[in-house]
Structure 1
């Protein structure tokens, strides 16, 4: 059975890594996945409560702690419920079965004669005098997990599938739940003077001038080209950091050009070329149609900048971080700082929420380096807003060129997607480098361009292979060997630009064929789950009665299955165009199989829609000679609360199907639906994001 176990269990085989019954009659559930705003912890608690037959209030969940929680890698790629949820289900079911089996032997009855009500064991409906807390023994937790105990059938669920309130929201509303609010003994604040670019060398630093600006006593820590300002007065170190760039002289600073901020720049750059799909060259017969779409570099744009705490005491480094992966961060910190892994503990503390690899890990290394230089104190590093925008890893620019050979009825016989992009994943565990590491002596070698394998959903190729019934389809991926700025994971990786291209191109092909876009899609799609979603959304948005093209009001639709194997989503967008695009209403239908917490799932779907709308309409990282120029909210605008339209969301019930990750499934369809709605409103197609006023004006000339 072990070859079919989730990776989370294969890496953490002992039961005591996951569950424990505490004297206060609670259940400690430990998981490696962390809360980054997606509501995963309450969903995992529901799964454990369901399989153990205890009240949800008894579950006390611990997440993301290298000293006490299992190693489940990073919280990413919409895999928390698929992988960790399945693991918690199997572990909980096995512990329940193991304990009931021993009790049945004690009572000389069959295990089927026993039942559990809120942790209390009954025989034939009568109390046995035993419960989890007085009957579970050390042997129940010492053995390895086999995964052979069958979980409950969905028809028996009473907790899973029900809306359960999240426990973390009250503290977040009152401002007591975030890493930014943490206070530790012997606390010192720190800010960093950044290298302007990789390889830059600090030639001189006017420390006296910086101290004068600080106005209070500060300590200046230097390790190679890593510079930090540390003190008990946060305002003083902030003033020092603000002033420092004007008093620093660097050599070897890389100069960038504005042309490098566009995805088209990759076309003539060295690349690692990969080919997936049907062999052979693209078909040259029939009508050949092609179009190119792009997305620029984009930022995570978290509402609060990155923050971390670290302290080095008694030869042990403790770090608190809003990282997505406490174990990968621990391993990286140990390797960079020359420590054994056992000398480092990383604990997750919630941040402002982030889908992807932002500055959290980098801030943790900042704090750890300083803590090693000032042992016995707790070092708190908080990035400044301009530092977050200027130095976090960003989502890579991405360009997709689609080419189709059409038959006489305008249906594709052959489909080719050609993708140009930088690395969509450069986490340290995949060979990326952490920011401060580049400033330490000796600096690491430049990271090698890397992307996830197709088995893991791909990066630049994510959702590039269409699920339509085309006779032949292929993807040519040009992975750029170098990017002008650091790039790494951002929600959906290549799914958003690829689905934007694919689903907008499908609308263009439907128009060429003189066929309604919904009917065109359905004629090329046999997957019944996808068809049901498209039909559901088109009915809900009154697709059949939409206005003519060019009226100024548009209605567009798009769908995808995230990674071609996770949750399905279809989105329709109604908008108006005057000077700007105004979103009026959005409809969404999703199929994620068995849904654990419907409220949490709906929040994820709608959050993805809002995030994607912001990226499609507004967001672009801009560059100048010194690096990233979009360093504040004026230069990196995002969707405002006042611009969020009404969203009508329906989740298709499918409890007998496996749970599918849904945190990113609405991302691509929303972008494409907006693109299609904009065409329907104006009668002109804009293929490059963001869909700004300037691009609209240029298209209308």
Structure 2
């Protein structure tokens, strides 16, 4: 402690306390607190989120991960705005089990709702403490202190730096729920700030875990059959270990990894092993489309919603329809990758997992370690949004690294392994029924959805591929439905429309012959596709304009504002009459009925000779609460539109009886640049002072429905089964 002054002691003391108090203890203490914003409720101490060093440098911590959605930039804006500094004055630490709060999985468009609101309020609290301390030091009224650019200014020209102020206070203090937000000075919230993650990505810099290079690093490949449910036939691994350049072959039960100093040597050895052939010890797959099998498998019935009301009149018009989607793949552009290092029975993993906290528990289980011996550090991956192979490859790398203590191991999946082993988005079927009264209002509504699980993310070793391969193997995780209001297969199955005499049920199909888990938006993509397609069909039966019909059944004023803005900016009332291969379509939803509101209108053409769809124009309106970065919100909705168009028109995992047959981009095509809309407009409704609402998954469902509705308008026929491929359109026209 020699030479450690009071100021340094206070600063470092706060840092130590920030990371030695367990999340459980924090949560228990938080139980006695009034409600706090976002994840402050779980981690109420300010130093869990913000640290100010003696030199005035600010560090902000979040348990959420940057996935390409612009989270880092938005959180920097939030913290910098409240603390009256430039974003460049802040170091942001994301998703690191050794440093940040455990905010679970970065999913469900929760980052800004949970972490953004927590950091906003924590920063407001810290600004209040800095202001109070400065007023005390200046011997002036609090209102006479102004914070700007890391300095506190007093009424007589006095100044104190944030570092000086922080040294005389402790940020190990519980946040106050009513800390006022900053009301004066230069603002960053609401401004378009350049994305901090973009420069390296467009200039070829090191951006992803796939780019990592550490001293002494070995390269590794894992040995598996072509897809889940298969395995390679036995090989002479002693001979493989003697191949030129091979460091060793790591084996634990059926888990096998090949390590080499040069990546190409590991690739060649893997190809040699694969030449031995493979087999399927598991039961045969249904060669037919998985959605056809769904309704025949045993299911657990889960009520979704029930809105009582008078029975439909005897003369009501009945409308029914069935909609479906196939198995979908994440289609990550970069195959999954991880880097791991084993030192003195401690494991560090650099991973693009969206849930470093749950992954840490699963890896500790797999390796028979206590969780405090495992550290998971998030590094962006080249492709994600959902449960792809990131967690599995982290486990593969960990097992490989355990065999070479002190040396980092980078384990990279191949393209074929990513396509063959990643968990898929479940196939889904939705059946809808409605009764339409003589007044052209919906008098009854019934929603049924069939789906496998949408959450297989690992929380134990049994949720990892390697967990079933090591000896002894771990029992598999049992899939469960995600409860509402979030929901899994039934996410967004409860319409936002004002309906009575309405109910819905989720037929949760536990048994799945292929790996399934979370794909971006979970069941919302399919349920909104079905609901918004059906609304158009019912509107047609009523003889009403689709947008007018929606507005008649919408009471939520923010929903109405979004629908009206999208329609007005599109020019819906003046649109060209559909037919002869040209049409317009509309779709709307509030994501999870809790997140952002989004309405989308599309103008398309359909080449009736080839069946190809071209999207000429897309116009969207979105309400995400207070808009931190309007351009960031536009980025998210533009991405959702493109991703949904790919899902809805092209993507489908194919199977034969023994394995997946979608192993590369030729067998699983995704939307290319010529397929994106010719024009995209995203109009943001800003709601200053309102809570942040998750946006990243708000546009997928409305886009899918708007496209289906536009196709119906263009060709006069309704297609209810995704993907809306040229072949399917031509078949419909021939019929």
State the TM-score, normalizing by the size of structure 2.
0.91
C-alpha distance in 2, partners of 1:485/1:157? 54
C-alpha distance in 2, partners of 1:199/1:298? 18
Structure 2 residue aligned with 1:660, among 659, 669, 693?
Answer: 693
C-alpha distance in 1, partners of 2:462/2:442? 39
Residue 302 of structure 2 is aligned to residue 274 of structure 1: yes
Deviations 1:9-44 (A, max 9, x none): 233333222212235542111111110000011111
Report matched runs for 1:10-29 at 5 Å.
Answer: 10-29=41-60
Deviations 1:102-149 (A, max 9, x none): 33233333222211111211122x432312111212642223334342
Report matched runs for 1:95-244 at 5 Å.
Answer: 95-124=126-155, 126-137=156-167, 139-152=169-182, 158-173=187-202, 174-194=204-224, 204-207=234-237, 210=240, 215-244=244-273
Q: What's the counterpart of residue 88 of structure 2?
A: 57
**Residue 583 of structure 1: how far off its partner (Å):** 1.3
Q: CA RMSD in A?
A: 2.1
Residue 675 of structure 2 is aligned to residue 643 of structure 1: yes
Q: What's the counterpart of residue 323 of structure 1?
A: 353
> Cα gap change, 1:443/1:603 in structure 2, threshold over 3 Å: closer, same or farther?
same
> Cα gap change, 1:180/1:474 in structure 2, threshold over 3 Å: closer, same or farther?
same
C-alpha distance in 2, partners of 1:430/1:138? 44
Residue 451 of structure 2 is aligned to residue 418 of structure 1: no
C-alpha distance in 2, partners of 1:281/1:251? 52
> Cα gap change, 1:235/1:611 in structure 2, threshold over 3 Å: closer, same or farther?
same
C-alpha distance in 1, partners of 2:308/2:637? 38
| SS in structure 2 of the partner of residue 205 of structure 1 | coil
| SS in structure 2 of the partner of residue 145 of structure 1 | coil
Residue 729 of structure 2 is aligned to residue 696 of structure 1: yes
**Residue 625 of structure 1: how far off its partner (Å):** 2.3
**Residue 355 of structure 1: how far off its partner (Å):** 1.2
**Residue 65 of structure 1: how far off its partner (Å):** 1.1
Deviations 1:248-285 (A, max 9, x none): 565723321222x4323111111111113227799574
Q: Which moved more, 1:434-443 or 1:537-546?
A: 537-546
C-alpha distance in 2, partners of 1:19/1:55? 15
Q: Which runs of 5+ in 2 are unaligned?
A: 1-31
Report matched runs for 1:403-414 at 5 Å.
Answer: 403-414=433-444
C-alpha distance in 2, partners of 1:142/1:318? 27
Q: 1:417·1:474 contact (CA, 8 Å) conserved in 2?
A: yes
Deviations 1:594-649 (A, max 9, x none): 01011111101100110011100101111112322111001111111121111011
Structure 2 residue aligned with 1:605, among 637, 657, 663?
Answer: 637
Q: 2:228·2:659 contact (CA, 8 Å) conserved in 1?
A: no
C-alpha distance in 2, partners of 1:613/1:91? 39
Deviations 1:337-367 (A, max 9, x none): 1001111111111111421111111110000
Residue 400 of structure 2 is aligned to residue 367 of structure 1: no
**Residue 565 of structure 1: how far off its partner (Å):** 1.3
Q: Which moved more, 1:144-153 or 1:512-521?
A: 144-153
Q: What's the counterpart of residue 3 of structure 2?
A: none
> Cα gap change, 1:435/1:157 in structure 2, threshold over 3 Å: closer, same or farther?
farther
Q: What's the counterpart of residue 666 of structure 2?
A: 634
Q: 2:320·2:434 contact (CA, 8 Å) conserved in 1?
A: yes
> Cα gap change, 1:569/1:281 in structure 2, threshold over 3 Å: closer, same or farther?
closer
C-alpha distance in 1, partners of 2:283/2:398? 27
| SS in structure 1 of the partner of residue 78 of structure 2 | helix
Residue 67 of structure 2 is aligned to residue 39 of structure 1: no
C-alpha distance in 2, partners of 1:8/1:458? 20
Structure 1 residue aligned with 2:420, among 390, 398, 401?
Answer: 390
Q: 1:421·1:478 contact (CA, 8 Å) conserved in 2?
A: yes
Q: Which moved more, 1:607-616 or 1:172-181?
A: 172-181
Report matched runs for 1:456-467 at 5 Å.
Answer: 457-467=486-496
Q: Which moved more, 1:49-58 or 1:686-695?
A: 49-58
Structure 2 residue aligned with 1:447, among 462, 469, 477?
Answer: 477
| SS in structure 2 of the partner of residue 555 of structure 1 | strand
**Residue 202 of structure 1: how far off its partner (Å):** 6.8
C-alpha distance in 2, partners of 1:201/1:335? 24
Residue 400 of structure 2 is aligned to residue 400 of structure 1: no
**Residue 693 of structure 1: how far off its partner (Å):** 1.3
C-alpha distance in 2, partners of 1:163/1:360? 31
Q: 1:98·1:140 contact (CA, 8 Å) conserved in 2?
A: no
Q: 2:69·2:696 contact (CA, 8 Å) conserved in 1?
A: yes
- Aligned pair count reads 696
**Residue 211 of structure 1: how far off its partner (Å):** 6.0
> Cα gap change, 1:432/1:36 in structure 2, threshold over 3 Å: closer, same or farther?
farther
Deviations 1:224-259 (A, max 9, x none): 111111111211111222332332565723321222
> Cα gap change, 1:248/1:473 in structure 2, threshold over 3 Å: closer, same or farther?
same
Report matched runs for 1:491-510 at 5 Å.
Answer: 491-510=520-539
Q: 1:196·1:253 contact (CA, 8 Å) conserved in 2?
A: no
| SS in structure 2 of the partner of residue 405 of structure 1 | strand
Report matched runs for 1:589-628 at 5 Å.
Answer: 589-628=621-660
Report matched runs for 1:512-551 at 5 Å.
Answer: 512-551=541-580
State the TM-score, normalizing by the size of structure 1.
0.95
Report matched runs for 1:541-580 at 5 Å.
Answer: 541-578=570-607, 579=610, 580=612
C-alpha distance in 1, partners of 2:174/2:459? 27
Q: What's the counterpart of residue 23 of structure 2?
A: none
Residue 336 of structure 2 is aligned to residue 306 of structure 1: yes
> Cα gap change, 1:529/1:14 in structure 2, threshold over 3 Å: closer, same or farther?
closer
Q: What's the counterpart of residue 72 of structure 1?
A: 103
C-alpha distance in 2, partners of 1:218/1:629? 33
Q: 1:396·1:421 contact (CA, 8 Å) conserved in 2?
A: yes
Residue 719 of structure 2 is aligned to residue 686 of structure 1: yes
> Cα gap change, 1:628/1:6 in structure 2, threshold over 3 Å: closer, same or farther?
farther
C-alpha distance in 2, partners of 1:503/1:280? 22
C-alpha distance in 2, partners of 1:482/1:242? 33
C-alpha distance in 2, partners of 1:199/1:358? 17
| SS in structure 2 of the partner of residue 127 of structure 1 | coil
| SS in structure 1 of the partner of residue 246 of structure 2 | coil
Deviations 1:265-309 (A, max 9, x none): 111111111113227799574222110101111111111111100
C-alpha distance in 2, partners of 1:262/1:280? 34
Q: 2:229·2:659 contact (CA, 8 Å) conserved in 1?
A: no
> Cα gap change, 1:187/1:670 in structure 2, threshold over 3 Å: closer, same or farther?
same
Q: 1:567·1:662 contact (CA, 8 Å) conserved in 2?
A: yes
C-alpha distance in 2, partners of 1:387/1:607? 26
